[in-house]
Amino acid sequence: MSQKVLLSSKEIHIILHRLACQLIENHLDFKNTVLIGIQPRGVHLAERLSKILAEDYNVNDVNLGYLDITFFRDDFRRGEKPLEANKTNINFLVENKKVVFIDDVLYTGRSIRAALTAIQSFGRPAEIELLTLIDRRFSRHLPIQPDYRGRQVDAINQEKVKVLWKENDGEDVVYLINN
Amino acid sequence: MSELSVNHLLGIKYLKEEDIQLIFETADHFKEVINRPIKKVPSLRDITIANMFFENSTRTKLSFELAEKRLSADVVNFSASQSSVAKGETLIDTVNNILSMKVDMVVMRHPNPGAGVFLSKHVDASIINAGDGTHEHPTQALLDSYSIRERLGDVAGKNVVIVGDILHSRVALSNIFALKLQGANVKVCGPKTLMPKYITSLGVEVETDLRAALEWCDVANMLRVQNERMDISYFPSTREYTQLFGVNKKILDSLDKEIIIMHPGPINRGVEITSDVADSKQAIILNQVENGVAIRMAVIYLLASKIKQ
């Protein structure tokens, strides 16, 4: 197994600030916008962006929720391991709101397809955007593309992109792992 | 989330403690789902479930049907009184005919103890026991323990008394298995005539004084007097039963602590508990009903994940 650093801590820092600025450009005061971190790994990115918006750009009170997509996935009974559910926590209305889905890696697009179905259980959003730290190009199974991307990566199928966060893993770093 | 150790839910006595914890953790997720504006998930859209009720039921049947529909399973309902069983068809023939229609899972209530176990050995489908005679009612016991866990934080170490007709109650037996497995202390309380002879061998104490039982417990699970199963008189009169084993507001207020009152339903108001107790804040009867759907969703989901494609 070999691994290559795709993004260092410093690069992640710069990218997160750029993504936060792009969000502000498109949404201004966030009165009608909500951020939804996709469980499990999109949550850290969503929390980090929400913190940057509040602390560095003075955009406070942005609604931040977590969406678990386990029961909406299309591979139930297809994998070797049972699907593991996570917590959904959306304590605000999404009806007529601009929803921004936040996930760490966009790969096949199936998770986002599941998230698009899952969010409908909470109401009908006015529109939905997708923000992702890593966009794995050429790996898509479905016609889904991000509106905001941190870094576009060309990776072959055996390779894996792993995103580590300081809060969870002790450091901010993105690896490209070859098994 | 790991896997259940069983392919069928036939009774609590076949489960391990980890199975119960897994069901509870999964039910936590489904409880959140059923409190959403849209309470349905598409997980089981390729699964067909037959609800086979050979005995009357209101809440269990409704609860299973809701759980199945909220998981997007296809559901067929069968009740014995309107079927070929009335013409003399055997259980295996009836079920095999239904399974020929490509049913993946059977939820069965049957008046005979062991009907679910028998069926699981003869048909190729996942079986969930929704009550078999006086034997077990596993999903009821799971939702009861889940409700205790929800209210008190944990089941282990809690004192639970099961009051009433222990002899005829599948709820009592499954509850005893489930509570003991999770480390609760269990007593049963009721007339001696309604106590099975083997009851102490299950690790529970028998108490015949209701007041002493209530003073000891954190939770009192009140059972219905099952008149339909009583072929002889087990106590002189309903009035005397109520005086000795019925819970009313007066006795609850005289205790130096606030205990939790549970009841699997249906309630004989004024017999096991009075209306003011059933409708009080101490009673978690409606929470039990709500939790029943989440627990049954969890059980069906976990068993369905083991059905091979």
What would the pLDDT profile of B11-64 be if each residue is shown by its tens digit? 999 999 999 999 999 999 999 999 998 999 999 999 999 999 998 888 899 999
In this prediction the ipTM stands at: 0.82
Q: Assess contact for B162 and B168: CB atoms under 8 A.
A: no
Query: Nearest 5°: CA angle at B71, between B67 and B74?
Result: 90
The whole-number pLDDT of residue B31 equals 95
In this structure, is residue A88 part of a structural domain? yes
% of chain B surpassing 90 pLDDT: 76
pLDDT tens track for B264-276: 988 889 999 999 9
Tell me the pLDDT of chain B averaged across its residues. 92
- pLDDT (mean) for B59-79: 94
| Residue B236 pLDDT greater than 90, yes or no | no
**pLDDT under 70 in chain A at which residues?**
none
Q: Which of A71, A82, A123 sits opposite B41 (nearest CB)?
A: A71
Enter the pTM of the model. Answer: 0.90
User: Any idea which architecture B12-135+289-307 has in CATH?
Assistant: 3-Layer(aba) Sandwich (3.40)
What's the distance, CA B6 to chain centroid? 18
A55 in any annotated domain: yes
3-state secondary structure labels for all residues of A56-121: CCCCCCCEEEEECCHHHCCCCCCCCCCCCCCCCECCCCCCCCEEEEEEEEECCCHHHHHHHHHHHH
pLDDT, tens digit, for every residue of A11-61?
A: 999 999 999 999 999 998 889 999 999 999 999 999 999 999 999 999 988
pLDDT value at residue B196:
92
Q: Categorize the per-residue pLDDT at B1 as very low, low, confident or very high, splitting at 50, 70 and 90.
A: low
| B69 at A interface, C-beta within 8 A | no
Q: How many angstroms away from the CA of B287 is the closest CA of chain A? A: 21
Predicted pLDDT of residue B238: 86
Interface contact flag, B43 A72, Cβ < 8 Å: yes
| Of the partner residues B3, B29, B305, the one whose CB lies closest to the CB of residue A76 | B305
Residue of B nearest to A115 (CA): B41
For chains A and B, count residue pairs whose Cβ atoms are closer than 8 Å: 52
Choosing among A39, A66, A75, A77, which should be mutated to test the B contact, i.e. which has the most B CBs within 10 A? Answer: A77
What pLDDT score was predicted for residue B58? Answer: 85
Q: How far is B34 from chain A (nearest CA, A)?
A: 10
User: Is A165 among the domain residues?
Assistant: no
| Minimum-distance CB partner of A85 among B1, B37, B307 | B1
Q: Kindly tell me if the per-residue pLDDT of B232 is higher than 80.
A: no
- Give the CATH number of the domain where residue A61 resides: 3.40.50.2020
Q: Give the model confidence (pLDDT) of B145-178 as tens digits.
A: 999 999 999 999 999 999 999 998 999 999 999 9
Tokens of B59: 């809440």
State residue B230's pLDDT score: 64
User: Given this model, what pLDDT does residue A66 score?
Assistant: 96
Task: Say which residue, B231 or A145, is predicted with more confidence.
Answer: A145
Q: Among 3.30.930.10, 3.40.50.1370, 2.40.37.10, 2.160.20.10, what is the CATH number of B138-284?
A: 3.40.50.1370
Q: Round to whole Å and give the CA distance between B9 and B24.
A: 15
Q: Give how many domains chain A has, as a whole number.
A: 1
What integer pLDDT is reported at residue B95 of this predicted model? Answer: 82
* Residue A1, beta-bridge partner list: none
Positions of CATH 3.40.50.1370 in chain B: 12-135+289-307, 138-284
Query: Domain span at residue A141?
Result: 8-158
The first and second tokens of residue B243, run together, are 């005086």
Rounded Cα–Cα distance for residues A14 and A12 (Å) = 5
pLDDT of residue A127: 96
Residue A82: the pLDDT is: 72
Instruction: Check residue A24 and give its pLDDT.
Output: 96
Give the closest-approach CA distance of B298 to chain A in angstroms: 11
